[in-house]
Amino acid sequence: MAKRLLILEDGTIFEGKAFGADVDVTGEIVFSTGMTGYQESITDQSYNGQILTFTYPLVGNYGVNRDDYESIKPTCKGVVVAEAARRASNWRNQMTLDEFLKAKNIPGISGIDTRALTKIIRQHGTMKATLANAGDSIDHLQDQLRATVLPTNNIEQVSTKTAYPAPGIGKNIVLVDFGLKHSILREFSKRDCNVTVVPHDITAEEILHLNPDGVMLSNGPGNPTDVPHALDMIRGVQGKIPIFGICMGHQLFSLANGATTYKMKFGHRGFNHAVREIATGRVDFTSQNHGFAVDRETLPDCLMVTHEEINDKSVEGVRHRDFPAFSVQFHPDAAPGPHDASYLFDEFLELIDAFKADQANR
């Protein structure tokens, strides 16, 4: 098996075994603490432009199947594992992880100390990294890595270019695609909603013309301040239609109402993040994937904090005091991860009913 190098921006070099596609890539290196769900993570568009490290020691043992895609065309840059399973054993298995990565033109590296790598990221923060073949000049690769400017149009890369339907017979939901996970569509499908997925640059006027019962702001990659056009759209919709934001949608909803966001040192990526609902004390274990967060100190009076992360007290949810609108930083759709918070989709639909009843009584 050919050798492959993982070169970090701080000069650290790991040598491992190549698997997946035979291409050199550069991206931001991050880690996920999930013990399973590698297919969902790799196909999650929130990892756009990132080299994804799995801290769990064995990855690929149950293969890749048709049911666990979160997008059809993954856009993460590369995959780093301690050990890549050579054989996959599961009744749903259709191909190995190696075959899948080759088909999607994503390189992988195995046989490196992912614990040591994770400690570096935790200590120094996320940074640029390169995956390259071992025969290449290391000095040249390091120079290229330092000179590389990572793109900031991540959401533009992954959002749909044209609107499309996910038909149902229930409530009419407009889902703004900042890099959505298919599991969000699955949750609405379970509740018989009629969903229209629309591009990230849609205007408030265009949304209102669709006459939706509610608007969902999806997850997505990158820095929320790179899509300022979305803030005008949110301000033009809120108060007129109930809003529910997830992950990137949560950050954009907060920005639209006057808060600011910041880049976290190494983010939250995994499926075991404990989140407390402040009003009830309820604790949910949640699926998370984000490198930015809402700054609690900058929240305006119109937004109240509804959820917080138990470990670092970061803001995990907000609700508007005057309008029917709320958002959460974590993924209530899970996939992968615990389904503790899936009730939030029901709360959103109940909010729509309450808003309609209030409008009818006026």
Which residues contribute to the annotated binding site?
46, 220, 222, 248, 251, 289, 291-292
CA distance 204 to 243: 12
Asked if residues 49 and 28 have their Cβ atoms less than 8 Å apart, the reply is yes
Structure tokens at 348: 């959103």
CA distance 243 to 13: 45
CA distance 183 to 280: 27
Q: Tell me which DSSP letter residue 93 carries.
A: -
Task: Supply the DSSP string of 186-243, one letter for each residue.
Answer: HHHHHTT-EEEEE-TT--HHHHHHT--SEEEE---SS-GGG-THHHHHHHHHTTTS-E
Where is the binding site for L-glutamine, in residues? 46, 220, 222, 248, 251, 289, 291-292
Active-site annotation, residues: 247, 331, 333
**Which regions of the chain does DSSP assign to beta strands (E)?**
3-8, 13-20, 25-32, 50-54, 58-59, 78-80, 83-84, 107-110, 127-133, 164-166, 172-176, 194-198, 214-217, 243-246, 261-277, 283-294, 303-309, 315-320, 325-328
Structure tokens at 239: 């108060």
Q: Is 349 helix (H, G, I), strand (E, B) or coil?
A: helix
- Quickly count: other Cβ atoms within 10 Å of residue 90's Cβ: 11
CA distance 67 to 47: 19
